Structure formats: C-alpha cells, structure tokens
Structure 1
Amino acid sequence: MYTIQQLATLAGTTTRTLRHYDAVGLLVAERDANGYRRYSSHDAERLQSILLYRSLDFPLETIQALLEAEPFDRTRALEEQVTALRAKAAYFATLAETAESTLTSLRGGISMEDKSLFNGLSFDELKAHEAKHEPEVVERWGESEAYKTSRTRADKRSKEDWEALSQQQVDLVKPLVDLFTTGVPVEDPRVQAAVQANHMFINDQFYDCSLDMFSGLGQMYVMDERFTAFYDKYAPGLAVYYNDAIQHYCITQS
C-alpha cells in the first residue's frame, strides 16, 4: 500500500492532484483507521492510465468514462496511448526542429524565411490541432464571454484571414525576439511597447482582453507546454521573458 505522498512521488505528480482525483471519483483511495488515504498497486496502475490520458489532453470526465467502461481493456488502451503519444511526440519533434533552426538563424547561421517559422504550424495543422483540443478549451472556458467572442470571430474567418493573422503575429513577435536575444530588460520602454502591441492585437482580433486576462495569458505561456513550445520555437526562453514582460506591463497599466 502507498500513502498519498508515496504515490505522488512514484508517479511524478502532486498530492493536490491525487486529492482532486479522489474528490471527483476518478481515483478513490481507501482510508485506514486514522482516515488517511491508502493506495494499492491496482490504484497505481489506474493512475498511470489517468496520467497517460491527461498527457494526451483528455478531459477528466472522458477519462473516467473510458476507465469505467465494461470491460476496460488495459492492454488495448495502452496500445492506443502508445500510438497517440508517438504522434504527439512527432508533432513536438517538428516544433523542436523549427526552434533549433530559428536558434541557428539568430546565432548568425543560415537565415530563415518567415514561412519557415511555422513549420509544424501550418493552417491545416493548426486547425487539426485546434479541433483535437476543442473539448478541453470548451471545458475550461466555454462559458466565458471571451471564448464566445473569440469563437464568433473565428467562425467568420477564411483561410486567407487566418494566414494574414498568422503573419501579423510573426511581425509582433519579431521585436520581442530581437529584444530578448540582445538582453534588453523587460522594463525597457521598447519591450513594453512590443507587449502593448501584442495586447492590442489580442483585444482587437480575438476578444476583449482585460489586464487580468492578459496577465493570466502570460502565466499560461510558461505553465502550459504547448504555449511554451509556440514561443520558444523563436528563441528558447522567450516564453518566460514574454511572461515577465506581460506581468510588468499589467502592473504598470493598472
């Protein structure tokens, strides 16, 4: 039997996560005479399945339905997870190659065309990626006005519109890349002007983005590996730099 701390350490997760899984009925622990949670080897196997599905961005409700389906075929589930994880790994490998090529360019190697900045992030690939993660997005933000506004605007855009927005985003990120790679501090007016331009871009093109929301976006850029990968493809460490700049901007603008 494992204590909650022992299982969290074994699985590389947190006790807070395990308590949440217990509370929602996804991984219910037995209780000893003192009321402490105790986990069996079977619980550890179930936790592995949960964490593998979470790594594939499955919502908790979907994971619970899959695990409680009768009968649950763990062998088949693992085979499917291996296939999906390899596909995801290949996707991030493409992003890594793009980031590496960009880094080589920034260090004075072979120059890259703007289009090359989006290897692995073409319109069709982005739409497929968006569709894959739509359930998670709806789960987290579906009831918010920001999501509804963004969805309404998105539905009206053509492929050409999206490509134009992608180019605008490249143009807005470029100054941040240059400032970051030359070591300009985030408090510098040039950095803050670049941050403001990005804030206005989100506000004008996607949804009304308050300072609190913009601050939350900045934090997401460093907490969610997908956002971190997007910015760090331009220069490793850019996501952290951008978040720090956003937090300074939000404080000074409030």
Structure 2
Amino acid sequence: MKPFNHDSLSVGEVAQLMGVSVRTLHHFEDKGLIVPARTSTGYRLYSANDIDRLHQILVYRSLDFSLAEIGNMIDDGATAQHLERQKELLAAKIRNLQSVLHAVETLMEVNMNNPSPADKARAAHAQYAEETERRYGHTDAYRQSAQRTAKFTSDDWAQATAEGEALEADCAQALRDGVAPGSDFANALAERHLESINRYFDCSYSQQVLIAKSYLADPRFTQHYDERETGLAQWIHDAIAANAAAHGADIENPEWG
C-alpha cells in the first residue's frame, strides 16, 4: 500500500482512510459540505482541516442527521460546542442501548409464558419503541406509525407477524436457491418488504434502503436474519438496494427526507 502524504490527500486516499466511497465524497462536495482544493490539473486535494471536517460529517450522519442539518451545525464554527454535542448524543445512544437491553429481558419473559403471535409482535415492537422515538420522533413517518399502531387489534398484530415470518422464510429460500438481488424474483420480495413497512407508515424507496442498511449496521438485526440463514441480512439489504436503485433511489446516499 502506498504511504499517505499527510500534507494533502487525494480523493482515493481519503476514501480509503475514512472508509467511505469516492462517490460519497463527491456527493458531500456537491452538497457544499466539504470542498477540497484542486490542483492545476483539477485533481482534488484534502487538507488536515478537510479530514477533521469529514470526521464531523460522518459522526453526525451516523446519528441520523440530514446533510442539511449537518452543514448548518458544522458551519457555525463552534467546534468545542459540537464536540460536547457529539458526546451528549453518544451518551444518549448508550442510554438507549441500555433501555433496549431491558426491553430484550422483558421480551424473554414474554416468551417464557407461552405468548400468542400477537403478544410476540407487540413485544417486539415495544423493544425498539424508545430508540425509534429518539431517532425518528421528529418525522412524519414516526407520527404516522404511532397513529396506526395505536389502532392495531390483536388480529392486526398476528397478521403482521405471520406476513413477516412468511417474507423472511421466502427470502431465506431465495438465498438458498441462488436468486440474485436485482432479479425479478428478488425485486418482488423487496416490494413485499416495502409493503410490510407501509403497514406502519408510507415508506419511500430511499427510506427502505436506510432501513435495510440497519440490518447490517445493527448486530441485533444481523443476528436475527442470519440465525435463519447465514448471509440473509446481507442478501435482503442487497435485494432492497437493487430494487430501490431500479426505481431511481440514490442508494449510495439515501436520506430519510
């Protein structure tokens, strides 16, 4: 591997160093978030300050801020305040993980008492309720989901559970059969996944991609799917991404909206 020149880095070196794609860096530049210098021949050069700024962008993006919000936060020059804000947000994330642990313990208790499918569905939904509210409580999607699920009957929860189980089983079988993401059959499964989310709120393809990304980023989701079939979380993600791209979604830089 070629050693980095720490005075300035090319776009490829930054992508390698920071674990992002070149396309993502170009997207950040298009949005005005980070604008590297250019050589006389047009090549991008990233300074140490650019790298610091990129780190801030990636941290805030991991906390689900939109690119517009990120731009406003890092452009006001209050670096110390932003570091403190990052610390607060990460502490909140830790607290939420602790609450999720408590919810898992509650779910385990439910499972030991011979629950009905509706009981399981309600418990699983409650498991992520606090975390979901923290991340998406300000969105129309969250409010719509809260309104809809408040009206769910036991039959509604049972149906949601049955359809979810059937979809996961069909996806696992598709993986075993060697069905390729982007094929007609995989796209049909991705559409069924979208329909399952639409039960709760009106979901766009971009939002669906973000949900699919969580299947890989969150070990709880990865474990859930891969316990059914090794590699299933990745396959579902790839199938959703391929179908969303076919419908014009930007799968490299999806936004919740």
Distance 1:183 1:78 in 2: 45
Cα-to-partner distance string for 1:2-30 (whole Å, 9 max, x where unaligned): 11112222222122222222222211111
Contact 2:96–2:131 (8 Å) recurs in 1? no
Which letter maps to 2:70? I
- 1:130 equivalenced with 2:121 (yes/no): no
Larger relative contact order, structure 1 or 2 (CA cutoff 8 Å, min sep 6): 1
Distance 2:242 2:40 in 1: 50
Relative to structure 1, is the Cα distance of residues 42 and 129 closer, same or farther in structure 2, using a 3 angstrom cutoff? closer
Report the TM-score, using the length of structure 2 for normalisation: 0.59
Which letter maps to 2:36? A
Which letter maps to 1:73? A
Residue aligning to 1:239: 233
- 1:47 equivalenced with 2:54 (yes/no): yes
Residue aligning to 1:144: none
1:171 to 149, 152, 162: 162
2:18 to 11, 16, 34: 11
2:68 to 61, 64, 71: 61
Distance 2:21 2:56 in 1: 16
2:214 to 225, 232, 242: 225
Which letter maps to 1:239? A
Gaps of 5+ in 1: 139-146, 250-254
- Aligned positions, number: 218
Secondary structure of 1:235 counterpart: helix
Residue aligning to 2:254: none
Cα-to-partner distance string for 1:88-132 (whole Å, 9 max, x where unaligned): 355457668978999x9xxxx96885154345323x654444324
Deviation at 1:85, TM superposition (A): 2.3
2:79 to 74, 79, 104: 74
58-67 or 168-177: which moved more?
168-177
Residue aligning to 2:252: none
Which letter maps to 2:225? A
Secondary structure of 2:88 counterpart: helix
Cα-to-partner distance string for 1:43-98 (whole Å, 9 max, x where unaligned): 111111111111111111111111222xx221221121122123235545766897
- 1:161 equivalenced with 2:155 (yes/no): no
- RMSD over aligned CA atoms reads 4.9
Which letter maps to 1:235? Y
Gaps of 5+ in 2: 1-7, 180-184, 244-257
